[in-house]
Amino acid sequence: MQAINLKKIIFLFFSFIVFSQLAISQGNGYSLNKADSLFKKQNFGLAEKIYEQKLNNFSDPPYLISLKLAYIKEQKGDYLKALYFLNKCFEKKPDEKILAKLNELSIQHELKGYELSDFNFLILIYKQYSGFLFGLMMLLAIYIFGIIIYKRYKKENIPFKQKMFLVFYLIGIAVLLNVPNLYHQGIVNSDGVMIRTEPSAGALVIEKITKGNKLDVIGNKDIWKRVYWNGEFGYIKENDLWLVE
């Protein structure tokens, strides 16, 4: 009897979770359909509010939401937010038209950092296909590990080089997994932002930059982001940047 009651409780619990998720998904879909309808009618004010509310409901926001928000922001004259959402679109789905628009806005407002360097392009491609790459590398690691286990089972000699290769290979996988967390691009969100030599308000100022400029962000320390700008590394307060993720 107790076992039957336990099964009922488990069934009801999982049913509640499933129906809750369905309700949330339907709610998101309804609101987004409404926002899309408003967008087509060029009622950008209401559409913008719904899109921005829905952004918080997605861990990985749909591409089209960011694209439409970029369009709305540009229509409103908010070039800073337009650049931010266009960059989010380009991160998710590199496209020549979006890149051309980014370059157009950056030239129009005399901004730097929007040129697509070889390094940025490689990082972008890696982020897009990191899951597939990681899967392949893990399969190879499992295969090598299996060979070593098989040799040990057969009491065969395992060369030291093979053991070290597996160790360094696994370290390489760990490093690659952390690349997306270590490297980002950031857009300066206010004027007169200071890049300093050290993560301290008392450190020397390398340069003051205006809002809209884009930098490479490589790591962080407390409330500071380590950035690469004009061939130099420096630090900017995290509140002065919008990370493109």
Share of the chain above pLDDT 70, in %: 83
Q: Which pLDDT score is estimated for 181? A: 66
Q: Which of 26-30, 60-64, 90-94, 202-206 has the lowest mean pLDDT?
A: 26-30
Give the CATH number for residue 191: 2.30.30.40
Instruction: Report if residue 141 sits inside a domain.
Output: yes
Co-location of 175 and 186 in the same domain: no
Helices (H), the chain: 2-40, 44-55, 63-75, 79-92, 96-108, 118-153, 160-182
In a domain, 113, yes or no: no
Poorest-confidence range of 27-31, 137-141, 233-237?
27-31
Mark whether 80 and 26 lie in a shared domain: yes
Task: Tally Cβ neighbours within 10 Å of residue 162.
Answer: 13
Considering its fold, how many domains does the chain have in total?
3
- Tell me the CA end-to-end span of the chain in Å, nearest whole number: 52
Arithmetic mean of pLDDT, 68-89: 94
Q: Is residue 46 part of a domain?
A: yes
Give mean pLDDT, residues 111-134.
75
Q: What is the predicted pLDDT for the residue at 96?
A: 82
Q: What is the CA radius of gyration of the chain?
A: 24
Q: Are residues 188 and 225 in the same domain?
A: yes
Q: What is the pTM of this model?
A: 0.69
Among 88, 108, 128, which residue terminates a domain? 108
The pLDDT-based confidence of 30 (bands split at 50, 70, 90) is low
Task: Give the pLDDT confidence of 148-192 residue by residue, as tens digits.
Answer: 888 888 888 878 887 788 788 888 777 777 666 678 889 999 999
pLDDT at 101 over 70: yes
How far is 61 from 3, CA to CA, in rounded Å? 42
Same domain, 139 and 173: yes
**Is 116 a residue whose pLDDT tops 90?**
no
Query: pLDDT tier at 21 (50, 70, 90 boundaries)?
Result: very low
Residue, of 198 and 180, whose pLDDT is higher: 198
pLDDT in tens, 205-231: 999 999 999 999 988 888 999 999 988
Q: Which domain holds residue 36?
A: 2-108
Most confident of 45-49, 88-92, 179-183: 45-49
How confident is the model at residue 179, as a pLDDT?
Answer: 64
Shared-domain flag, residues 144 and 170? yes
Q: 22: domain CATH number?
A: 1.25.40.10
Eight-state DSSP code of residue 210:
-
Same domain for 44 and 33 = yes
- Based on the fold, state whether residues 85 and 22 are members of the same structural domain: yes
CA distance 224 to 207: 16
Query: Worst-scoring range by mean pLDDT, 81-90, 117-126, 131-140?
Result: 117-126
